[in-house]
Amino acid sequence: MTEMTGGEAVARTLEAMGVTKVFSIVSVHNLPTYQALAASDQIDVVACRHEQFAVHAADGYARASGHLGVALASTGPGTTNAMSGVYEASYGSSPVLLITGQGESSYYGKGKGFVHEHETQLDMLRTVTRRSETIWRTEDISRMIASVADDARRGRPQACAVEIPIDQQYRRAEVEIHGRETVDRVAIDADALAAAVELIDGAERPLIWAGGGVIAADASAELLALATKLGAPVVTTIEGRGSIPEDHELALGPRTERPDIADIIAEADVVLAVGTRFQNYSTRMWKLAIPGSIIHLDADQTVIGRNYQPAVAVLGDAKDGLARLVDAVEERQPDSGFLERSAKSVVSDLERSDGEIGPDHRAIAAAIRRLLPRDGLVVRDNTVPNYLWGNRVLPILEPRTSIRPSSGSIGPGIGLAVGAAAGSGKRTLLMVGDGGFQLGIGELATIAQYQLPIVICVFTDGGYGVLRVIEDNVMGERFGVDLHTPAFTTIAEGMGIPAESVEGVTTFEAAFAAAVERPGPTLLDIDLTALAPLSFPIPAHQRRS
């Protein structure tokens, strides 16, 4: 045990867990902790401009690196600001730890009006986290942070949080440092796995459905090995993108809800679903037919059978489970007709997509894939181009290179990109609409300060494009969706970021090529109205009956 301040205990614990980045905004209620983190030789503190986007950055860091993402905020307004980021991390099954301050212990619970007072902050945090705790004693800081961080990373990852009174951060005490870089994986149910092997060995047309749990478990190599041994096509959810390279002959892409792929899913006699919740959009609001026998492998017992009833439920870690299946299943001659039909379904769906997105957007997607490095990260905020071609048509070729706000919110993209670029050091593309971009535009200053290698593609149409389409087709009138749009190039250049206005495909390709080669950030303001129009389908649940 060593004498140290509470802030130093936080820093030493994070070091023991292998943390290298913390995303934060400095505040009176986290000064001792921030000071200790800034003094660390191992940890870099990335100074963000808003607590929501600090947590989004920690989330993006976790998704891109596979390591625990950490954000540091202040009590009260700082933590209320952070809540949207914590919500998205939990929704997206991302291992994020929020560390926040709290008022002095002696004033807590007295309602005296102490600055930043929020005495039910813990209750608030618990609404969006797996676990949140108050740490009342300096001596307990390391043990409690290590325990909560383990819960954030165990099984299906989730966001967790701790709050530490400011006096306990300043106070010196004898502290034993805890913390570990990895956590134990959820053990595989051996009997259930044996039943799965028997079902797979009896299948003629097996198909694999890969969700985000494959990425979270770093199980892409095992997935590809199993698919190859079985000769089984692989369809992914959007969160599962990159679990198999989308230029691989067995890859059907993130098209579970598309008509052509639905026919293939219906033809499979066994569907091995790994690390997925069968969410609404991936299943057409749970109307997608999966007539074959389902084997559901997941580290979270609560999601197995929630939306589709499996013939075999296998609780356990995706990486371990897939590796055991590779060893146990019989190698067989695949059904060549099934594989041929599967491959044709991808071609037919791409042709269908071409009609939806038009020639200009198809050309932009092709240019991005040609110019962006294979391991470049693609971060997509929720905007019309993302819905129509970022999520499906733009190929993802490696794991942990595809990131989006899983909850469907607009705006988190810029924060996710900050964390992904800071954590990976790789060239990062951010696709964002002008409406969503303005929610976090202050993070341009963060990107400029750290010269992060992000190419920001702002698709500008003067408002909230997705909602505009829905209002035009469902409501019959517009309200709240048409926005005054600032000159984004002027704002970016004022921040010290090179920027260019883009009109047309040829201009885009030249500008994007230059941006990819530039070592730091670039902003491209793309005029959507100058491109061939997109055809945005109205979701079934939002159509008039």
pLDDT tens profile 65-75: 999 999 999 99
Q: Which of 51, 80, 53 lies closest to 381 in space, CA to CA?
A: 53
Residue 238 lies in a domain: yes
Domain extent for 48:
2-175
Band (pLDDT 50/70/90 cuts) for residue 466 is: confident
The pLDDT value recorded for residue 543 is 53
Q: What is the CATH number of the domain that holds 317?
A: 3.40.50.1220
Q: What is the CATH number of the domain that holds 153?
A: 3.40.50.970
Residue 180 lies in a domain: no
Q: Is the pLDDT of residue 109 over 80?
A: no
Band (pLDDT 50/70/90 cuts) for residue 284 is: confident
Clarify whether residues 168 and 207 are in a common domain. no
Clarify whether residues 327 and 381 are in a common domain. no
Q: Which of 156, 322, 294, 315 lies closest to 224 in space, CA to CA?
A: 322
Task: Report, as an integer, the average pLDDT of 286-294.
Answer: 92
Clarify whether residues 156 and 265 are in a common domain. no
Clarify whether residues 112 and 18 are in a common domain. yes
Alpha helices in 92-163 (DSSP H): 121-126, 141-153
What is the rounded CA–CA span in Å between residue 411 and residue 307?
29
Residue 182 lies in a domain: no
- Of 334, 368, 391, the position where a domain reaches its end is 334
Q: Is the pLDDT of residue 293 over 70?
A: yes
Clarify whether residues 262 and 350 are in a common domain. no
Clarify whether residues 286 and 364 are in a common domain. no
Put simply, whether the predicted model's pTM sits higher than 0.75 gets the answer: yes
DSSP state for residue 188 in the 8-state scheme: P
Sign of CA dihedral 50, 53, 57, 59: positive
- Of 271, 299, 334, the position where a domain reaches its end is 334
pLDDT (tens digit, 9 = 90+) per residue, 210-257?
999 999 999 999 999 999 999 999 999 999 999 999 999 999 999 888
**Rounded-to-5 percentages of helix, strand, coil across the chain:** 45, 20, 40
Q: Is the pLDDT of residue 29 over 80?
A: yes
Clarify whether residues 390 and 315 are in a common domain. no
Clarify whether residues 453 and 520 are in a common domain. yes
What is the rounded CA–CA span in Å between residue 143 and residue 175?
9
Per the structure, the count of domains in the chain is 3
Q: Is the pLDDT of residue 286 over 90?
A: no
pLDDT (tens digit, 9 = 90+) per residue, 506-543?
999 999 999 999 999 999 999 999 999 887 666 554 55
Clarify whether residues 317 and 214 are in a common domain. yes
Residue 49 lies in a domain: yes
Residue 12 lies in a domain: yes
Clarify whether residues 508 and 411 are in a common domain. yes
Residue 217 lies in a domain: yes
Residue 204 lies in a domain: yes
Residue 183 lies in a domain: no
Q: Which of 64, 125, 61, 59 lies closest to 93 in space, CA to CA?
A: 59
- Of 285, 308, 334, the position where a domain reaches its end is 334
Q: Is the pLDDT of residue 545 over 50?
A: no
Clarify whether residues 169 and 238 are in a common domain. no
DSSP state for residue 184 in the 8-state scheme: P
For tokens 């478990």, the residue is 217
Clarify whether residues 13 and 61 are in a common domain. yes
